């Protein structure tokens, strides 16, 4: 199943993808940099900068890991919706792939899926009133380069 993240609220997208992955579907999320996070820009940026201060001072290789690329940022959000400490959650997470933009050749090579022939799932239009920030803007602000 291919899911388009453009214009979708990140939390709702993550719950939908996590639920489908737990049911056994292989999920490909495209345009992950265009997903939206609801809230004011200043408060979201401040919150993300506070998260970057959390470190494991004893051994930095043990995490927590803060992803700055939009595809990894979205994938990490999806992981938060899965039962990660159970084997079925880890197996479901392996079935989720995220991409920046719409890389037709990459998807065809890795997943053997023709984008032109397959249906791209769109979650529908939600209420788009209020403040939103794209995942790309958040990742740029915290120092991501892609």
Predicted pLDDT at 124: 74
Average pLDDT, the chain: 88
Predicted pLDDT at 52: 86
Task: State yes or no: pLDDT of 126 exceeds 70.
Answer: no
Q: Is residue 146 part of a domain?
A: no
Contact status, residue 5 vs residue 16, Cβ threshold 8 Å: no
> What is the pTM for the complete model shown?
0.85
What is the extent of the structural domain holding 98?
2-141
Q: Is residue 126 part of a domain?
A: yes
Tell me which of 14-23, 28-37, 123-132 is least confident. 123-132
Bridge partners (DSSP) of residue 21 are none
Average pLDDT over residues 104-116: 82
Task: State yes or no: pLDDT of 56 exceeds 60.
Answer: yes
Tell me if residue 128 falls in helix, strand or coil: coil
Residue 114's domain is classified under what CATH number? Answer: 3.90.1180.10
Contact status, residue 56 vs residue 31, Cβ threshold 8 Å: no
DSSP H or E segment with residue 28: strand 27-30
Confidence of residue 137 (pLDDT cuts 50, 70, 90): very high
Predicted pLDDT at 116: 73
Q: What percent of the chain has pLDDT over 70?
A: 97
Q: What is the rounded CA–CA span in Å between residue 26 and residue 39?
A: 30
Angle in degrees, CA 116, 120, 121, rounded to 5: 170
Q: Give the number of domains in the chain.
A: 1
DSSP H or E segment with residue 98: strand 96-98
DSSP H or E segment with residue 72: helix 70-80
Predicted pLDDT at 22: 95
Predicted pLDDT at 125: 67
Task: State yes or no: pLDDT of 127 exceeds 60.
Answer: no
- DSSP state letter for 119: P
């Amino acid at each position: 199943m291919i899911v388009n993240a453009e214009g979708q609220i990140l939390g709702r997208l993550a719950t939908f993808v996590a639920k489908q992955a737990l049911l056994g579907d292989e999920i490909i999320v495209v345009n992950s940099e265009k997903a939206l996070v609801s809230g004011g820009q200043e408060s979201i940026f401040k919150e993300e900068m506070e998260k970057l201060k959390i470190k494991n001072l004893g051994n930095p290789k043990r995490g927590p890991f803060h992803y700055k690329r939009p595809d990894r940022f979205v994938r990490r959000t999806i992981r938060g919706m899965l039962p990660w400490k159970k084997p079925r959650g880890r197996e479901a997470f392996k079935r989720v792939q995220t991409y920046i933009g719409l890389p037709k050749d990459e998807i065809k090579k890795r997943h053997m899926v023709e984008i032109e022939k397959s249906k791209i799932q769109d979650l529908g239009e939600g209420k788009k009133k209020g403040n939103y920030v794209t995942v790309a803007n958040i990742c740029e602000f915290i120092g991501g380069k892609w």
